[in-house]
């Protein structure tokens, strides 16, 4: 049955480290849809019909591309499976232009948060946003931090995106700020082991963080296109790290790999994307290319 082939495919890919929660639900839905129509192998027409149930072109493309990848897998052992054509186009969205904070605007953001009330809330969000800015953590990683994850060697980020764990070193100033917050925070929730907690002593939720961030952004009047988000602090960290890259082809390559590892990217390709994030970086790249073409060093 088709559903058995789907489960085999999902098991194999999960063994390779993929989560596949959403793709798994979609492929099971496709298998049920196909078998209800008497199709026990992948049929292009049925796959396109099922994918066409998506509400947008992007959703249809995503649904069909999951089936295409699955069909390529099962076709290896059974050529009677058809690989559908990608009639809805690519499932990939163009990545939006990131908002990059200036150093002054980060200072303004933290000052604005520090002026909010009540006191415990402002201490929590000021420390959280400062930590995001100086480490490039994802918001989800920061709010899942536990007390035991703060080690002498840095912050242990457990089972983050793509099920990866990594150690993020802390500058002494960042560590000092985090330790001040923890000394202030522990009496509020002494039995909770999360680093960042709410006024009720519960772990912070992403929507609470986003609400606090939007409120601070609105108060300091930052432009809205592109609109800054908490993730913009991670983008800013990555761009500033690239701007500080040493000269020389080999050293730049090492710097890029180190930054990719530090950020927890599954591939260095996602780190290369930041090279086009600011005019300053693009201008430096253009200047290096021009120098190389005219006989200079790469």
Q: pLDDT of 76-118, one tens digit each?
A: 999 999 999 999 987 666 677 789 999 999 999 999 999 887 8
Distances (CA, A) of 128 to 5, 19, 75, 124, 131: 45, 28, 49, 6, 5
pLDDT at residue 149 is higher than 80: yes
Q: pLDDT digit string (tens) for 197-230?
A: 988 878 899 999 999 999 999 999 887 668 899 9
* Residue-level pLDDT at 264: 86
Domain definitions of the chain by residue range: 2-75, 106-229, 234-293
Q: Where are the beta strands (DSSP E) in the chain?
A: 150-151, 154-157, 166-168
First to last CA, the chain: 56
* Residue-level pLDDT at 66: 94
Q: What percent of the chain has pLDDT over 90?
A: 58
Provide the CA 12 distance to its chain's centre, in angstroms: 24
Q: What is the mean pLDDT of residues 18-22?
A: 82
What's the pTM value of the predicted model, to 2 decimals? 0.71
Give me the helix-helix angle, 119-135 and 172-185, nearest 10°. 160
| Confidence class for position 298, pLDDT limits 50, 70, 90 | low
Q: pLDDT digit string (tens) for 249-275?
A: 677 778 888 888 889 887 777 788 888
Q: Which fold has domain 106-229?
A: hpI Integrase; Chain A (1.10.443)
DSSP letter for 162, please: G
* Residue-level pLDDT at 254: 85
Q: How far apart (Å, rounded) are the C-alpha atoms in residues 249 and 246?
A: 9
SS3 label, residue 200: coil
Q: What is the mean pLDDT of residues 179-201?
A: 87
Q: How far apart (Å, rounded) are the C-alpha atoms in residues 240 and 35?
A: 53
- DSSP-assigned letters across all residues of 31-92: HHHHHHTT--S--HHHHHHHHTTSSSHHHHHHHHHHHHHHHHHHHTT-TTS-----TT---P
* Residue with token string 């290096």: 288
Q: How far apart (Å, rounded) are the C-alpha atoms in residues 251 and 221?
A: 39
* Residue-level pLDDT at 164: 75
- DSSP-assigned letters across all residues of 206-230: HHHHHHHHHHHHHHHT---TTPP-T
Q: pLDDT digit string (tens) for 30-62?
A: 999 999 999 999 999 999 999 999 999 989 999
Q: What is the mean pLDDT of residues 234-239?
A: 93
* Residue-level pLDDT at 169: 92
| Strand partners of residue 168 | 155
Structure tokens at 187: 């009496």
pLDDT at residue 288 is higher than 90: no
């Amino acid at each position: 049955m088709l559903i058995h082939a789907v489960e085999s495919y999902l098991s194999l890919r999960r063994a390779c480290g993929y989560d596949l929660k959403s793709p798994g639900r979609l492929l099971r839905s496709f298998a049920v849809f196909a078998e209800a129509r008497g199709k026990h192998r992948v049929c292009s027409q049925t796959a396109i019909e099922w994918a066409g149930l998506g509400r947008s072109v992007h959703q249809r493309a995503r649904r069909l591309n999951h089936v295409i990848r699955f069909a390529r897998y099962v076709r290896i052992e059974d050529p009677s499976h058809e690989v559908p054509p990608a009639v809805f186009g690519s499932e990939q969205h163009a990545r939006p232009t990131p908002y990059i904070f200036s150093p002054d605007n980060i200072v303004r953001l933290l000052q604005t948060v520090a002026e909010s009330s009540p006191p415990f809330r402002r201490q929590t969000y000021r420390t959280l946003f400062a930590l995001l800015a100086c480490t490039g953590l994802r918001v989800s990683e920061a709010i899942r931090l536990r007390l035991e994850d703060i080690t002498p060697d840095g912050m242990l980020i457990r089972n983050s995106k793509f099920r990866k764990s990594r150690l993020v070193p802390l500058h002494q100033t960042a560590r000092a700020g985090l330790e001040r917050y923890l000394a202030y925070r522990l009496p509020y929730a002494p039995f909770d082991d999360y680093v960042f907690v709410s006024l009720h002593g519960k772990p912070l939720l992403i929507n609470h963080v986003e609400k606090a961030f939007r409120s601070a952004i609105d108060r300091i009047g930052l432009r809205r296109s592109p609109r800054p988000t908490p993730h913009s602090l991670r983008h800013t960290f990555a761009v500033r790290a690239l701007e500080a890259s040493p000269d020389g082809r080999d050293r730049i390559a090492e710097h890029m790999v180190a930054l990719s590892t530090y950020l927890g990217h599954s591939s260095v390709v996602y780190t290369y994307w930041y090279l086009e994030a600011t005019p300053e970086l693009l201008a430096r790249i253009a200047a290096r290319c021009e120098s190389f073409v005219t006989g200079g060093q790469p």
